[in-house]
Amino acid sequence: MSYPRHTMSSAGSRTSRRTFEFGRTYVVRPRGKHQATIVWLHGLGDNGLSWSQLFESLHLPNVKWICPTAPTRPVTLLGGFPCTAWFDVGELSDEGPDDWEGLDASAAHIANFLSAEPADVKVGIGGFSMGAATALYSAVCWASGRYVNGIPYPINLRAVMGLSGWLPGSRSLRNRMESSNEATRRAASLPLLLSHGTCDDTVPYIHGEKSARNLSSAGFRYLTFKSYDGLGHYTVPKEMSDVCSWVTARLGLDGSRS
């Protein structure tokens, strides 16, 4: 299943446009009653296939997983080397500068998938590393009701997960949230799960911890932060088991105990 290019006007200019060629999308169909759909986003340089294979083995029969592949683009952090990336990144910083246009295009691409889901199906977004950063950015777009470029955000998110990631441009996004009472009210109702390994040397643990604090202070009160002692920049069965339990409980799926 593949999707065509996506274009979006720049946040800084109404005339300049960049074209983003998204890669192949992999879908894991629910084995039971379809109650939820989650778009899951891979990390820098990866693709949707590896995560779709993992989700095939998880015991979440009522969830449909959509695992897209990011565009291939030059990445500043890698000296301009091209690889799959949801947005360009130079450094992990509260300030940025961040590729808001790339983030908006990726968030819109994700929203397009979820907008096609049945009305009675609960929808969410999750991701790992850069995919987690994009998922958390989508959460802020949902709460504020719009992308950074001003276009309305169209999806009613019910859950967002970020593993080994960070909130891109967290200071400006937090300021944006704090300037709107409505955004703060909406944020308080959205379940967020952030998890991070204490020995992550790619996205250091402090970035996950700081992102959780910034999101909480911006109004995301329904936030769970889980740390995993000794875990590096990868996932383990215990972490994925915790994700499954959290998704089941927060989305009220069959088999939930809470």
Q: How far apart are the C-alpha atoms of 30 and 24, rounded to whole Å?
A: 20
Active site residue 196: no
Catalytic pick among 6, 10, 34, 233: 233
Give which of 139, 149, 130, 147 is closest to 92, Cα–Cα.
Answer: 130
Could you identify the residue written with the tokens 């967020």? 192
DSSP code string of 142-211: HHHTB-TTSPBP-----EEEEES---TTHHHHHHHHHT-HHHHHHHTTS-EEEEEETT-TTTTHHHHHHH
Could you identify the residue written with the tokens 């096609």? 116
Strands of 36-41's sheet, edge to edge?
26-28, 63-67, 36-41, 122-128, 159-163, 192-197, 223-228
Catalytic pick among 42, 52, 200, 211: 200
Active site residue 88: no
Q: Is 123 left (phi over 0), alpha (psi -120 to 50) or beta?
A: beta
Catalytic pick among 52, 106, 129, 211: 129
Q: Can you give the length of the chain in residues?
A: 258
Active site residue 179: no
Q: How far apart are the C-alpha atoms of 164 and 197, rounded to whole Å?
A: 7
Q: Residue 54 gets which letter from DSSP?
A: H
Beta bridge partners of 224: 193
Q: Which helix (H) or strand (E) holds 55?
A: helix 48-56
Catalytic residues: 129, 200, 233
